[in-house]
Amino acid sequence: MTPPEKDPPAQKRETIHQGHPPDPGKIRSKALLAAYMAKGREKLGTFLDAHGASLPVLGVAMEQFTQSVFALPEETACKQGCAYCCHLRVGVSIPEVLVVYRELAAQTTQEGFAFLKERVLGVAAKGNTLKDAFWHTTRSPCPFLDVDKNQLCLIYSLRPFACRAYHSTDLDACQKGYDLGQEIMIPCFPLYRATTDMYSSIFTRVLAEKGFPSYQVGFVKALEILFKDKRASGRWLDNREDVFVSAKLV
């Protein structure tokens, strides 16, 4: 009797691996995403060339991109008042955080602004908000989550693209990740997530191409910088100073 073959030799494993047919669905999704991304980059680049990269112009660009985000698929498990994902690190582009800060200053009362500032600085003071581990271990809510009332986002219409992209088809998985204080795989609609997240990447890349010190930053850390230095926004936009380097995500 011939004993059953155990591990195939390396060369054979390679042959078996190469034998898998490529997933046509994945290939189409990748191609679609690349096409959307290229179109978005071109659109933003042309817009900034025509109008300059001022704060109001970035605000208009963010608004237009926001309107282009697809509707969240109905099959998601997300519902009002569920906020597990608002206890995770949020990565954003610098233009997003500049626009959010500007709108907070413009749309809130002096007291409201002071309240939000206190919330942001309060979370920032607890530890290194750039690390996933900070959010997992402290279980701190995002400073914009209305934990006292209804667990709703206080800046819902302004929220960054990462927040719009995050969703789940399995609420139990979200709760498990929160309870364990660990990053776990959350089932979702990958194409929805990627096409929503991409607007943040488009901002980061196009602004870098235009010569700005542009990279992904931690939302809370970048807001902390803005709240502590009123000139930070102008220094980045007008002088291209690298004022957000301590908020850079690696």
User: Rounded to the nearest whole angstrom, what is the least distance from the CB of residue 199 to ligand SF4 in the complex?
Assistant: 15
Verify binding: residue 123, ligand SF4, rule CB under 6 A.
Answer: no
Examine residue 130 and tell whether it contacts ligand SF4 (CB under 6 A): no
Using the rule CB under 6 A, is 94 a contact of ligand SF4?
no
Rg (CA), the chain: 21
The reply to whether 226 sits near ligand SF4 by the rule CB under 6 A is no
120 binds ligand SF4 (CB under 6 A): no
Give φ, ψ of 211 to 5 degrees. Answer: 95, 10
DSSP symbols for 158-209: G--HHHHH---S-HHHHHHHHHHTS-------HHHHHHHHHHHHHHHHHHHH
Stretch that binds ligand SF4, among 16-24, 47-55, 153-161, 208-216 (CB under 6 A): 153-161
Shortest spacing between CB 17 and ligand SF4, in angstroms: 40
The answer to whether residue 163 forms part of the interface with ligand SF4 (CB under 6 A) is yes
Whole-Å CA distances, 201 to 46, 65, 137, 181, 214: 16, 12, 28, 27, 10
Query: What is the enclosing helix (H) or strand (E) of 3?
Result: none
Among 48, 94, 130, 145, binds ligand SF4 (CB under 6 A): 145
Q: Which stretch binds ligand SF4 (CB under 6 A): 1-9, 58-66, 137-145, 180-188?
A: 137-145
Alpha-carbon distance of 30 to 194, in angstroms, equals: 10
Total residues binding ligand SF4 (CB under 6 A): 9
Residue 208 engages ligand SF4 in binding (rule: CB under 6 A): no
If one asks whether residue 119 binds ligand SF4 (CB under 6 A), the answer comes out as no
Task: Please give the C-alpha separations between residue 96 and each of 99, 200, 242, in angstroms, as whole numbers.
Answer: 5, 7, 16
By rule CB under 6 A, what string of x and - marks binding of each residue 74-93 to ligand SF4? ------------x---x---
Per the listing, tokens 């906020």 go with: 83
Report residue 39: phi and psi, to 5°: -65, -45
Binding region for ligand SF4 (CB under 6 A): 86, 90, 142, 144-145, 153, 155, 159, 163
